[in-house]
């Protein structure tokens, strides 16, 4: 994997600010709905700014993976930017989210992110709903947290409430425990993504006990009466000790526009989100590129991530020629569908 995130040098070898680097998760998927929607982007008028970028940038890095990996490609790209080791299912996102929530975690403990959620029972299997769609209030989240805390603490765990959708848990059994990313499991059968790691047995038991504990909780009774999905379980992810760096570099810009519609298999909304990204962020990227800036764009699917960067040039004449080419090149650009299908 080659991800160019370090500052470039001027001819006088003076360090300058790193180049802007946009990271776009959920740019494509192997799911049947997405595969049916992708041809809509083949229209020559679709995503004009992405086409410009594809025509003027080259592939500078490709992160390989597969759809069965525990960590998502965009998580691996972001982890690399923070200097984390590339360990599938062992990226310490609990520590990262805790920093966003202003929660101080004990540095020498092994923490995990507990996401309260709803496991939907179907005819043949379970499906994990996106916790963000539950509309869980802070008061209800805190009450449910208090209900399960004693269960965990009696087993030697430490629990901290961080946000309505994020609770934090520490236990020695989390050391070295690989877990599937929440983004990997949403909309899928959580049972399939529970690893057979020996330390995961405790996790399975706790999930069963939490389901029984919350089955007739007054908050869930009220949610059912209101027509809302209950909170009947949790997903654990992002385990590990707190890393040295828990902040993205300033030049890394994470774009989450495509996440919610993709996880919901709402392809009309996903296509609209692509149009919004193209008309705003990618338009700005094209303008920066035309002004001579070195920019990078990483497109992430469910298997791979591709980083597009500037074409290396040598000498002033070559740089001037590149600037002319940027301004005079076709504004339609190549068809992006082939690249998105490769992700």
Predicted confidence (pLDDT) per residue in 13-30, tens digit = 333 568 899 999 999 999
Q: What is the pLDDT of residue 313?
A: 53
Average pLDDT over residues 157-185: 96
Predicted confidence (pLDDT) per residue in 146-169, tens digit = 999 999 999 999 999 999 999 999
Tell me: pLDDT of 200 over 90: no
Q: What is the pLDDT of residue 3?
A: 36
Would you kindly state where each structural domain of the chain is located, as residue ranges? 21-82+248-341, 93-240
- List the one residue out of 64, 72, 67 whose CA is nearest residue 89: 72
Average pLDDT over residues 208-216: 93
Average pLDDT over residues 134-151: 96
Q: Could you tell me the sign of the dihedral formed by the alpha carbons of 235, 238, 240, 245, in that order?
A: negative
Q: What is the pLDDT of residue 329?
A: 43
Average pLDDT over residues 73-98: 96
Predicted confidence (pLDDT) per residue in 27-51, tens digit = 999 999 999 999 999 998 999 999 9
Q: What is the pLDDT of residue 190?
A: 93
Tokens in use for 20?
Answer: 């802007």
Q: What is the pLDDT of residue 197?
A: 86
Q: What is the pLDDT of residue 123?
A: 74
Average pLDDT over residues 208-219: 93
Q: What is the pLDDT of residue 234?
A: 96
Tell me: pLDDT of 268 over 90: yes
Average pLDDT for the chain? 88
Tell me: pLDDT of 92 over 60: yes
Distance of CA 342 to the CA centre of its chain: 18
Tokens in use for 231?
Answer: 């909170």
Q: What is the pLDDT of residue 11?
A: 33
How far apart are alpha carbons 33 and 95 in whole angstroms?
34
Average pLDDT over residues 283-301: 95
Average pLDDT over residues 128-136: 95
pLDDT band at 9 (very low <50, low <70, confident <90, very high): very low
Tell me: pLDDT of 12 over 50: no
pLDDT band at 271 (very low <50, low <70, confident <90, very high): very high
Tell me: pLDDT of 325 over 90: no
Name the pTM for this structure: 0.88
* Contact assessment for residue 41 and residue 336, using Cβ atoms and an 8 Å cutoff: yes
Task: List the single range of 17-26, 81-90, 264-273 with lowest mean pLDDT.
Answer: 17-26
Q: What is the pLDDT of residue 293?
A: 92
Q: What is the pLDDT of residue 17?
A: 66
């Amino acid at each position: 994997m080659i991800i160019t995130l370090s500052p470039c040098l001027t001819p006088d070898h003076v360090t300058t600010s790193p180049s802007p680097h946009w990271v776009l998760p959920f740019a494509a998927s192997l799911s049947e709905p997405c595969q049916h929607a992708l041809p809509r982007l083949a229209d020559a008028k679709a995503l004009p700014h992405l086409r410009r970028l594809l025509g003027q940038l080259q592939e500078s890095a490709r992160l390989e993976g597969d759809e069965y990996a525990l960590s998502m490609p965009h998580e691996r790209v972001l982890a690399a930017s923070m200097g984390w080791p590339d360990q599938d299912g062992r990226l310490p996102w609990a520590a990262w989210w805790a920093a966003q929530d202003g929660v101080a975690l004990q540095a020498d403990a092994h923490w995990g992110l507990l996401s309260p959620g709803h496991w939907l029972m179907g005819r043949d299997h379970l499906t994990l709903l996106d916790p963000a769609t539950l509309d869980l209030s802070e008061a209800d989240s805190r009450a449910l947290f208090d209900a399960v805390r004693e269960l965990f603490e009696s087993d030697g765990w430490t629990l901290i409430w961080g946000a309505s959708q994020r609770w934090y848990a520490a236990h020695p059994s989390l050391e070295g425990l690989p877990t599937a990313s929440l983004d990997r499991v949403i909309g899928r059968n959580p049972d399939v993504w529970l690893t057979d790691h020996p330390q995961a047995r405790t996790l399975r038991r706790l999930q069963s006990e939490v389901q029984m504990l919350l089955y007739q909780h007054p908050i869930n009774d009220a949610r059912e009466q209101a027509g809302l999905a209950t909170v009947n379980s949790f997903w654990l992810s992002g385990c590990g000790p707190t890393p040295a760096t828990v902040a993205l570099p300033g030049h890394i810009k994470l774009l989450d526009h495509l996440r919610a519609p993709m996880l919901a298999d709402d392809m009309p909304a996903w296509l609209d989100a692509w149009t919004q990204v193209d008309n705003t962020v990618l338009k700005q990227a094209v303008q920066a590129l035309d002004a001579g800036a070195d920019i990078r764009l990483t497109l992430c699917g469910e298997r791979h991530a591709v980083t597009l960067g500037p074409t290396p040039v040598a000498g002033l004449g070559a740089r001037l020629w590149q600037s002319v080419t940027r301004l005079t090149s076709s504004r339609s650009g190549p068809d992006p569908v082939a690249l998105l299908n490769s992700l």
